[in-house]
Structure 1
Amino acid sequence: MSFLSRIMVLKSQAHFSAGVYDRFGAPSGMAIEGSRKRKTGQARSRVGLLIVGFTALYAVIGARMVEYGMKEPESVSSILPPDRLMASRPDIVDRNGEILATDIRTVSLFAEPNKIVDTDEAVEKLQTVLSDLDVKDTYKKLSNRTSHFAWLRRQLTPKQQSQILALGIPGIGFRPEKRRFYPGGATAAHILGYVNIDNRGVAGMEKYIDDQGLADLASVGMTSNQPLEPVRLSIDVRVQAIVRDVVVNAVVNYKAKGAGAAVLDAHTGEVIAMASAPDFDPNNPQEGSKDGWLNRMSNGTFEMGSTFKTFSTAMAIDSGKVSLKDSFDATNPIRIGGFTIKDFHGQRRWLTVPEIFEYSSNIGTARMIDIVGMEMQKEYLTRLGLLTKMQTELPEVKMPSQPRVWKKINSITISFGHGVATTPLQTAVAGAALINGGKLIEPTFLPRNREQADEVAEMVIKKSTSDDIRYLFKLNGVKGSGRNADVPGFHVGGKTGTADKVVNGRYANNLNFNAFLAAFPIDNPKYVVLTFCDEPLDGEQHQRIAAYTAAPMVKNIVRRAAPILGVEPEFGEDGSALLVSY
């Protein structure tokens, strides 16, 4: 049999053997049908299992997606959180556009403890770059293997970042941040304030900016790292530098506990410069002393001494009950309520109103205010803003203090500056109202023109009264205690005040609070300057009173700042004689 024949026979046998036969040798139809149904059932079962499997798989995936969607973002090096660290703060600039505060890019060091290989080695290496590293705290952070993120040091320098990178420590990384930078350092510290480690305003105008809505936007993640429109202040950084220099030198030269000064535009209420010492560097606020954080100009209250005689004289004249031609008996001290009111420079005679101002007579001022009356005195001081909290952008503003119950003795002592404690800045603001024609203008650290100032101004005294006060300021600047503040060509006028400090409830005659309220040029005042020196132990010619401490401070400020402010000097009685050469 050939090979092909054998193949055909085998194929035929396989065909018949594959069939199913009944007992008579014929194929069974029922067996074939059962086999078909069994195979169909198996197929359906397999498809069903596949459907159930895929359904379960997608259900698990969906559940995990919901879980991840509702879970707080995990801070790991590969997944940055909704980054508020990079949110921009607006630059702060002075009135001329000079930058006072800006953001700079920096980085912060973090670790993923679960990826740290050798904790001891990591800490030792980091300590070679960060010498002040808290070893115990860092070791504790890095030893927590369940932790995926931990800050190690915020705001590194570029050099520190480079050195740490060179160490090659696994599980250590950097994140970009923004740091606030103040080019002038402490120059305008109490005006600008400072920010915390997360670039949020803590004090000064930085906090004011956050309070205007920036903090709310940051809290809901709506800030961005795009540059913002700069915030322009009324400050002139050139004058600010001069004022701070004078204030800091006063603390050193007069061995004082503190000192301060402010320059205001008399017609707009703009604060051109303000400084308080001791102060701090806003770039490193924590390194300053606690005394340096206190803004004595707006957040410290003091009995302003004889500068208050300016307000007492103004209200006496404005009431119509007193004129410059009137005289008062200052021959003998006044005894009232167990107290004796006497003069420091007693003339022991009747004094005219200008003489009362020139000689700073407590007796004469007390007799004037007695005519005015206590109720009118309170009303005038309230109208001048000296008994209420000052309104301005700066958050650090303290409420003045006054007697709970006013008695006649209180009225008398308050007339010459004892019994009411106000902030130096609000004293300067009230003083501006007395020499600018009678308009009280709330102080501002933002630019404001005269038209805008007139909209918020309030007439508190008559213009004629303001004219009289300017005359008295000029008189005192030429003949009285203000002579030490005079600057040739700029005609400074004002009123000194030397107040005894209260120690343990009693006035100490060896500790003074000295102040000088001034204006220039006094014939047509444009600016008000107030200086103070707290508890000086020395002064010019070794005198500790205001004429030899606070007044020379005004002189130094005006001498250096007046040309910058565009005030032209005048020489000669009519201003016609010009200084041609030196």
Structure 2
Amino acid sequence: MNYAALRRPLRPLARILRARDTGEDPEEIARENLRLRHEQIALKARARAESRLLVMGLAFLCAFCVIGLRMGVIAQTDPEEPRAAATGNPIIGQRADIVDRNGRILATNLDTHALYAQPREMIDPAHAATELVRIFPELDEERLLRDFTGERRFLWIRRQISPEQLQAVHDIGEPGLLFGPREMRLYPNGPIAAHILGGASYGREGVDSAEVIGTAGVERFFDAYLRDPAREGEPLALSIDMTVQAAMEEVLGGGMTLLNAKGAAAVILDVHTGEIMAMASLPDFDPNNRPPVLTEGDQSDSPLFNRALQGVYELGSVFKIFAVGQAVELGLLNANTMIDTRGPLTWGRFRIRDFHDYGAQLSATDVIVKSSNIGTARIALQIGAERQRDFLGRLGFLEPTQVEMIEAPTGAPLLPRQWSEISTMTISYGHGLSASPLHLAAGYASLLNGGTRIVPTLLRQDGPQQGERVVREDVSAVARDMLRAVVTRGTASFAEVPGYEVGGKTGTADKPRPNGGGYYDDKVVATFAGVFPANDPQYVIIVTLDEPVETSGAQPRRTAGWTAVPVAAEMIRRTAPLLGLRPQVELATLDGVVVSAEN
């Protein structure tokens, strides 16, 4: 562009003078210069406008390309629901699942809703109360109507409802009935492992959320672990096997019914790792609908009471193997040492008798096989009170178990006030010291696994425990042989399971009357404590029945050999294959077979 033309004067003097000389009109020169100036200005404005249009066009083109590219990216991604950004610290976080040793779900979370009312917003309170009672029969219609028509501004109706119930309430069409989203704890297997899991409930509550907290069992013990957001929902893996647990509970429930027992408990424990493979207490409950705690009466009558962990009983003759095992460890006797069994054995005003007269002497093995109280008491006298107490302490009988449950401290053993000589004798055959079935399982595992201390655990382990040595390996083998003999030719003959070498001991203890009033004549606690396979111990099994009575014969039978032992045998038969134990089948021999050849 010629910008010099814009600065040129409209009436240049030189041209004006020449125009006058030649007779031209000077004004014509001025008009021509003005026209040229206007043309230059128009050309400059047009060029500026064209540049702006070009820039705007390029900008629109870039924006169109960016939007098109973004739309293509969105079209290629998987669809998902939008999530609102949360500010502050939420009241609830995702609670981790609980799984068994094989990853099967034992406890998980479920999205649900809570139902509440704002009475000030209700149109027809009477109709709403009637319809709510139809959907939730446990509600009181009169109380609902009184609350809806009173001065209350807010009212919880149900802390959690199912999707079907939500739809039914929605169909009422009452604007004063509102829903708040929340999570609930779900136990998909119902009462299976109920006492182990315990249960959960709501802590701090809001309209749109609620804090799920553990109330009992491992849910309470591991509450902080399960709620820790740093673990990003990593499940808690327990040691139990759900299939073994289910089979145990089914067999135990059937045995409890057939034997008219008041309650029952059972434990299967890995003798090397200390893992609790299954633990049951009956009667039980559904943790999805946990019953209330008893406010009066005996807590052991409540289904919430865990007999395997909290129930401490005088367990009877199952304790005898500890006395004989300790005596062998101390070098006081061996399996064939003869023990004086003449009776009754008198100590002051106390007399110790046997169930049958076993003669003047029995070998140490036969003291266990025939379950002689007199023989066991004489062995305990050789051991002495101080050494007996120390030995039982190393087996874990003097303190609560350390299992990972909030109820564990409540299962403390009941010990004699003074560990006297008579206490030493009675404790040797299971009277005068009360312990839980889980204590007994840990004691048997420690004695029979080769002689190292086992602490029960509900967490899955990577390898065997390295506990302190309780007895030598050869003493452990002697104890196993004795328990095997109890099954092959003793009081636990019904415990024989083909393919599995079962060893074990029976125990029948009279139940003490409440408030120290002696013992009942017709109520017992029957226990079987066993190990399988006895030649290569893998698992300990404990079965305890409270007040069983077997009535198939002419006379009622209450001893463990007729009650707890058959239940334990069926339990082993059902659970051993689930635990991965193959039956040991003896191959038939060819003795007496004649082979002939035809010509």
Q: Please report the TM-score for the alignment, with normalisation by the length of structure 2.
A: 0.77
Is residue 95–residue 234 contact of structure 1 (8 Å, CA) maintained in 2? yes
Q: Distance in 1 between matches of 2:552 and 2:448?
A: 28
Q: Distance in 1 between matches of 2:89 and 2:170?
A: 23
* AA in 2 matched with 1:441: I
Higher mean Cα deviation, 133-142 or 204-213? 133-142
Q: 1:110 aligns with which of 112, 116, 120?
A: 116
> 1:537, CA displacement in angstroms?
2.2
User: Quick check: which has more Rg, 1 or 2?
Assistant: 2
Q: Which residue of 1 aligns with 2:449?
A: 436
Q: Which residue of 2 aligns with 1:19?
A: none
Is residue 540–residue 548 contact of structure 1 (8 Å, CA) maintained in 2? no
Q: Which residue of 2 aligns with 1:302?
A: 313
Is residue 96–residue 226 contact of structure 2 (8 Å, CA) maintained in 1? no
1:93 aligns with 2:105: no
CA spacing shift, 1:234–1:540, aligned 2, 3 Å: farther
> 1:123, CA displacement in angstroms?
2.4
Q: Which residue of 2 aligns with 1:477?
A: 487
Is residue 416–residue 432 contact of structure 2 (8 Å, CA) maintained in 1? yes
> 1:116, CA displacement in angstroms?
2.8
Is residue 128–residue 172 contact of structure 2 (8 Å, CA) maintained in 1? no
> 1:140, CA displacement in angstroms?
4.5
Q: Please report the TM-score for the alignment, with normalisation by the length of structure 1.
A: 0.79
CA spacing shift, 1:328–1:128, aligned 2, 3 Å: closer
Q: Distance in 2 between matches of 1:540 and 1:87?
A: 56
Aligned 1:188-267 pairs, distance under 5 A: 188-198=193-203, 199-212=212-225, 214=227, 228-267=233-272
CA spacing shift, 1:85–1:141, aligned 2, 3 Å: farther
Aligned 1:239-388 pairs, distance under 5 A: 239-286=244-291, 291-388=302-399
Q: 1:509 aligns with which of 521, 526, 534?
A: 521
Q: Distance in 1 between matches of 2:549 and 2:88?
A: 56
Q: Distance in 2 between matches of 1:270 and 1:412?
A: 32
Q: Distance in 2 between matches of 1:110 and 1:559?
A: 52
Identity of aligned residues (%): 38
> 1:561, CA displacement in angstroms?
1.1
Q: Distance in 1 between matches of 2:131 and 2:578?
A: 54
Over residues 83-107 of structure 1, what are the superposed CA-to-partner deviations in whole Å (9 max), with x where a residue is unaligned?
Answer: 9675322111111111111111111
Across the two proteins, how many residue pairs are aligned to each other?
A: 485
Is residue 345–residue 360 contact of structure 1 (8 Å, CA) maintained in 2? no
Is residue 85–residue 178 contact of structure 1 (8 Å, CA) maintained in 2? no
CA spacing shift, 1:381–1:335, aligned 2, 3 Å: same
Q: Secondary structure at the match of 2:102?
A: coil
Q: Secondary structure at the match of 1:152?
A: strand
CA spacing shift, 1:133–1:81, aligned 2, 3 Å: farther
Q: Which residue of 1 aligns with 2:471?
A: 461
Q: Which residue of 2 aligns with 1:531?
A: 543
Q: 2:176 aligns with which of 147, 166, 171?
A: 171
Q: Distance in 1 between matches of 2:325 and 2:589?
A: 34
Is residue 343–residue 352 contact of structure 2 (8 Å, CA) maintained in 1? no
Q: Which residue of 2 aligns with 1:521?
A: 533
Q: Secondary structure at the match of 1:439?
A: coil
Q: Distance in 1 between matches of 2:258 and 2:106?
A: 28
Is residue 346–residue 361 contact of structure 1 (8 Å, CA) maintained in 2? no
Q: 1:122 aligns with which of 107, 128, 153?
A: 128
Q: Distance in 2 between matches of 1:341 and 1:547?
A: 21
* AA in 2 matched with 1:563: P
Q: Distance in 2 between matches of 1:315 and 1:97?
A: 40
Q: CA RMSD in A?
A: 2.4
1:567 aligns with 2:581: yes
CA spacing shift, 1:153–1:471, aligned 2, 3 Å: same
Is residue 486–residue 505 contact of structure 2 (8 Å, CA) maintained in 1? yes
Q: Secondary structure at the match of 1:170?
A: coil
Q: Which residue of 2 aligns with 1:448?
A: 461
Higher mean Cα deviation, 507-516 or 266-275? 507-516
Q: Secondary structure at the match of 2:545?
A: strand
* AA in 1 matched with 2:419: W
> 1:316, CA displacement in angstroms?
1.3
Stretches of structure 1 lacking an aligned partner (at least 5 in a row): 1-79, 218-222
Is residue 108–residue 155 contact of structure 1 (8 Å, CA) maintained in 2? yes
Q: Which residue of 2 aligns with 1:424?
A: 437
Q: Which residue of 1 aligns with 2:79?
A: none
Over residues 410-437 of structure 1, what are the superposed CA-to-partner deviations in whole Å (9 max), with x where a residue is unaligned?
Answer: 1111110000000111111110011101
Over residues 173-214 of structure 1, what are the superposed CA-to-partner deviations in whole Å (9 max), with x where a residue is unaligned?
Answer: 101121222121111111111112453211111112215473
Over residues 361-395 of structure 1, what are the superposed CA-to-partner deviations in whole Å (9 max), with x where a residue is unaligned?
Answer: 00000000101111111111111111111111012
Q: Secondary structure at the match of 1:405?
A: coil
Q: Distance in 1 between matches of 2:304 and 2:551?
A: 25
Q: Distance in 2 between matches of 1:337 and 1:500?
A: 22
